[in-house]
Structure 1
């Protein structure tokens, strides 16, 4: 049986190490950027487009074109294509998603949720300022850095640029049922206030329904009438920061869920050389000992 061969780096640059996620459009891998500039992280996340038609390829290309540099956003940073493989790169976020954290801990402290909501609204402020509506804000798309709390909004696969041609045509609704407002579910054009509605639903879920001092703001964010919601993420942030949320706890600690990466191609070769060298040294030592006996 022929030995398995390791695929070459994509575009001679991205060495895929291990799969860390998957979605409707493809898989996400931890990879080593073999051409990372000095001072830049060599480990990145690489999204690999799965089996696709021209429409999915166009959507993938549109997603990789989103460039939003913000500490609470995970947007594409580059892309590459080689033969049938099309990929784009992002920051590697190591703490998993808010969906996982919620599943592990249940309802979260109000003060912790207030910090997460503040960070999410900062992310949406930057996204909307770039003319983009995310359209799928939900716990699975809210990533966490280890330690924290440090939330980052990711997965722009169904996002839309307001001044661009819409990719969604014909019947069907884009988004996730539980987090979309009534007008989005009815097929209304994308609007930033739809993302604010989803942010309010996420925060309400994280609290397990115990909204407390956040109740007025969350009620406004999730109002069925978009005209009664805060008009912008900036306005929602202003309202949030006026709320006196007592410090409660304990706050959950976000672990590093990825751990050490597998050995890369270069490391595997180096490790093999080192192991072989050690075997040679050991053999020489044993031979010398035997000659002295």
Structure 2
């Protein structure tokens, strides 16, 4: 849900009118914005104190470059960005639907057909990611948004090329949940939704198969409402990921074919997992054209309500270019509203 802007928030970012807050983390804020043409975008703005660190700014540039390399209708595209701004920012197409995590928390596990459509579309998104020579490395419920016509994969903050040497810094990026040191290596990803080779920080083994494992975790979560390697302390979840069997109780009863595909995805040996393209072909069902019939009615209604809410924000008042400022002059935003220059 969109929250109101705080008094300390900017009202413009490089010609984009900011309409509200979509989320915030230790590194910055994600805003709902509107372009001069009236399109809605999600704008990630990094705090200047972190942007002052050369390594952090370099990582943000990599995030932008990675997202621009991926061409898929099921991955949210970048519309504009400025990694060299005092507060670097990145704008992507706005998707008004909830994340998969929000959807499951609010309405419980998805029906089997919805899980199959979810898996097929996300497999296509990952195939595009891997074709671009990248590994996403953080496929999880919070990074999947549900739209009327299908899901969208977001957040390439820790994506990396998989054909080049992989060395990591422990510095976090907005939206990355874990960078935990283990001896000389770094675990990158989200416990419960990362592969054994990520859990053991075997960086040279992390590749496209790692994303397929994470997708298997995500689909098991969507079908059952729980991560397949449990919850609780990080160490316990990582241990079960490396050594334990995935908990797919309930999936077999719902759809034996889907359960078998998930077991293939969750194989400990990366070489034995299917590719994203093979998984796409193995999943039998696709979403129909038009409408939200791939989702249960409560979720379709949730998406419609959010779309109506954001449409009202978009149409509240026109986006006009900022008035040029003279030194020492306050900026005015609408009748009777004054913000100090920052």
The interval holding the TM-score normalised by the smaller chain is 0.7 to 0.9
- Equivalent in the alignment of 1:195: 211
Which shows bigger deviation, 72-81 or 132-141? 72-81
TM-score of the superposition, structure 2-length normalised?
0.67
Q: CA–CA distance in 2 between the matches of 1:8 and 1:107?
A: 38
C-alpha distance in 2 between matches for 1:165 and 1:88: 26
The root-mean-square deviation of aligned C-alpha atoms, in Å, is 3.0
In structure 1, the residue matched to 2:282 is 239
- Change over 3 Å in CA distance of 1:81–1:200 after alignment to 2: closer
Give structure 1 stretches of 5+ with no counterpart: 274-293
1:162 and 2:162 are equivalent in the alignment = yes
Whole-angstrom CA distance in 2 between matches of 1:82 and 1:10: 13
**Deviation at 1:172?**
2.1
Deviations 1:135-165, CA, capped at 9 Å, x for gaps: 00000000122x34x1000011111022456
Distance 1:5 1:123 in 2: 37
Query: 1:107 offset after TM fit, Å?
Result: 1.7
DSSP-derived class of the 1:177 partner: coil
Between the aligned partners of 1:6 and 1:224, the Cα distance in structure 2 is 45
1:126 equivalent to 2:137? Answer: no
1:227 corresponds in structure 2 to 271
Written as runs of structure 1 = structure 2, the 5 A alignment for 1:20-59 is 20-23=22-25, 25-34=27-36, 36=37, 42-50=39-47, 51-52=49-50, 53-59=53-59
Residues 76 and 153 in structure 2, CA contact (< 8 A), matched pair in contact too: yes
Deviates more, 1:108-117 or 1:22-31: 22-31
Secondary structure in 1 matching 2:168 = coil
Counterpart of 1:157 in 2: which secondary structure? coil
1:205 paired to 2:221: yes
Q: Is the 1:138–1:202 contact (alpha carbons within 8 Å) kept by the matching residues of 2?
A: yes
Greater CA radius of gyration, 1 or 2? 1
Report the count of equivalent residues. Answer: 258
Other-structure match for 1:283: none
**Alignment match, 1:79:** 81
Q: Does the Cα contact within 8 Å between 2:60 and 2:83 map onto a contact in 1?
A: no
Secondary structure, aligned partner of 2:209? helix
Q: 2:193 aligns with which of 176, 179, 204?
A: 179
**Displacement after TM superposition at 1:114 (Å):** 0.5
CA contact (8 A) 1:134 1:159 kept: yes
Could you tell me whether the CA contact under 8 Å between 1:15 and 1:264 is conserved in 2?
no
Q: TM-score scaled by structure 1?
A: 0.78
Distance 1:248 1:194 in 2: 27
Q: Where does structure 2 lack aligned partners over 5 or more consecutive residues?
A: 1-6, 170-183, 225-248, 287-292, 321-331, 337-342
- CA offsets 1:67-95 (integer angstroms, 9 cap, x no match): 12321001423212675221111000101
